[in-house]
Structure 1
Amino acid sequence: MSDTAEIKHRIKSVSDTRQITKAMELISVAKVRKAMQKQAVNAAYFNSVRYTIKDIMRHSTDIRHKYLVHRPNNRTAYIVIAGDKGLAGAFNSNVLNMAWEHMQTRPVHYVVTIGQMARAFFENKHQPVDLEFTHAVTNPTLHDARGITRDILDLYDRNLMDEVVVAFTHMYSTTVQKPELVRLLPISESDIPEEIQSTFTGEILYDPSPKEVLNVLVPQYLVGMIYSVLIHSFASEHASRMLAMSNANKNADKMLETLNLEYNRSRQSAITTELLDLASGRFADGR
């Protein structure tokens, strides 16, 4: 009976764990859907901003703007986005290892981490972290993106860095997420995809001047870019967690099936033993 009780205890333990992993899976499903809806709501506006910047750069080649000019030095600032938690498969390790490998190829002047897992990773590598954001990955908002943009532009304006790149995880689908590296500053025409188009087909005149328009639009462009990578990273984390929890649920189901078989065999064996003992006792009494 002790074996039966132990198996029963294990069945309860696995069942309780499965309830937790199932709840985590359902929460992640909802968060992925909500994140991509938020991205879609703001995509039209930020795509218009990106197209306008691309159009100015294409048709006003004589403009010298501080956010468009490539600086001679290569002091690179890395913004690395990971999660605040684990239990998300290889989500954190993939993007962090990619960023670290890239950082070995050029002089790193500044490291900005978004997410506690990113901070812990660089601490283990003995790489100083100059600026840290933790709240932005739990529920990305435009307010978060504006705050990060403000701090990055302040550092860039003070000539503390020559280039800003961001390492994040791009979500292509709920089953495909890839770590990627994107340059934020300085901005090149090639950084803005050709598929970003305007619905307006006529000639565009910028008032008071293309440079003045850029002064307003570049910060908006960066807010849109940072918001986008935050959303993609957030959605990728929960898509990875959703898949990890789904696999955990399947493993739990298999384990429960095996344990239930063991439990039934153990009970059957115990009952058979009791019947044999009872029969033996009656036989002895009869003699």
Structure 2
Amino acid sequence: MASTRQILSRRRAAQNINKVTGTMETISAVRYRQLYGSWYEGQEFYDSLARLAYLIVTAEQTIEHPLLFDNQSRTHALVVIGSDRGLCGAYNSNIFKLLDVHRKMAKRFNRELKIYAKGNRVINHLRSQQVPIEHIYDEFEDVPSVDQTEEIANHFIEQYMRGEIGRLGMVYTRFFSAASQQAQTLSVLPVAELIDDLTTRATVIWPWEVEFEDFLLSPDPEQIFDGLAKMMIRTVISGCFHEAVLSEHLSRVIAMRSASDNAQEMIESLTHEYNRERQSQITNELLDILGGALQ
């Protein structure tokens, strides 16, 4: 059986771990609440954007726009968003699994994959696999600013318009609610698939209640769609970074809470073990004293 000194040493270590995990849980919980507020406020804007996109693309007059349709490029761009720090459960490992699937599929169908990475964990994983990284987003901490988002979006839009890439996907952990987060790939280009995603995540749209003919559009729908498509791309790219860091902090809160609970259970178990061992030592000492007195 372990000595009381060893038990106390183990208990101190568990108490120190409990302090660290409790602090990390608190920090991530505060950050999560801040991010959740801004995410929740943005959902109405997503709904409005989805409705507008739906009404324009379902018009009787077909819209011809290069961002709306596939091109012939065999190069796919992939923006992979992970975390800079660990201790967030399976958050990063789920992203790695999805990324490995993309790499296997690209190899199988003879497609070139351009990978854009955010987060030290993703970067280290790619480097350990000797996978080339097209660009690392290290100019912002969590969520890009408006100007940075516009720069990122314009870069991919220009590449798509020139036929240098045929698809743009965002690999990240999508935040559905506090009880549901899922690592997934969101197709941003071509825009037709993005509109499908926006309409399915939005409030239900009733086509027979609101029709394209109910609106008087100026300028013409093609010009409106050009600005709308670029707005959607910028909004979704920023939203993906936002949801990724929101999911990261929630994952860390859950992981650290579980670690704190385990540490607390270990502290209680070691305290009981220490008390039993100490009681045994006291009993032995008393027996030695009584034995000496009787002699």
Contact 1:89 1:244 in 2 (8 A): yes
Residue in 2 aligned with 1:232? Answer: 243
- Which letter maps to 1:227? S
- Which letter maps to 1:185? L
Structure 1: distance between partners of 2:53 and 2:24:
41
Contact 2:47 2:198 in 1 (8 A): no
Residue in 1 aligned with 2:84? Answer: 84
Aligned with 1:164: secondary structure? strand
Contact 1:109 1:161 in 2 (8 A): no
Deviation at residue 69 of structure 1 after TM alignment: 2.2
Residue in 2 aligned with 1:138? Answer: 142
Deviation at residue 61 of structure 1 after TM alignment: 4.6
Equivalent of 2:264, from 233, 236, 253?
Answer: 253
Tell me: CA distance 1:257–1:85, structure 2 relative to 1, closer, same or farther (3 Å).
same
Contact 1:137 1:234 in 2 (8 A): no
Residue in 2 aligned with 1:184? Answer: 188
- Cα deviation per residue 1:144-184 (whole Å; 9 max; x = unaligned)? 43342233224334432111011111223334321111110
TM-score by length of 2: 0.86
Residue in 1 aligned with 2:274? Answer: 263
Residue in 2 aligned with 1:193? Answer: 199
Structure 2: distance between partners of 1:142 and 1:40:
18
Tell me: CA distance 1:45–1:81, structure 2 relative to 1, closer, same or farther (3 Å).
same
The 5-angstrom pairing of residues 1-287 of structure 1 reads 3-59=3-59, 61-106=61-106, 107-134=111-138, 136=140, 138-139=142-143, 141-188=145-192, 189-194=195-200, 195-196=202-203, 197=205, 203-284=214-295
Aligned with 2:199: secondary structure? coil
- Which letter maps to 1:25? E
Contact 1:76 1:164 in 2 (8 A): yes
Contact 2:71 2:163 in 1 (8 A): no
Alignment gaps of 5+ in structure 1: none
Deviation at residue 211 of structure 1 after TM alignment: 2.1
Contact 1:164 1:186 in 2 (8 A): yes
Structure 2: distance between partners of 1:63 and 1:136:
36
TM-score by length of 1: 0.88
- Which letter maps to 2:235? G
- Which letter maps to 2:153? T
- Which letter maps to 2:242? I
Aligned with 2:232: secondary structure? helix
Of stretches 146-155 and 36-45 in structure 1, the one that deviates more from structure 2 is 146-155
Count, aligned residues:
283
Structure 2: distance between partners of 1:182 and 1:127:
21
Alignment gaps of 5+ in structure 2: none
Deviation at residue 142 of structure 1 after TM alignment: 4.2
Structure 1: distance between partners of 2:61 and 2:185:
27
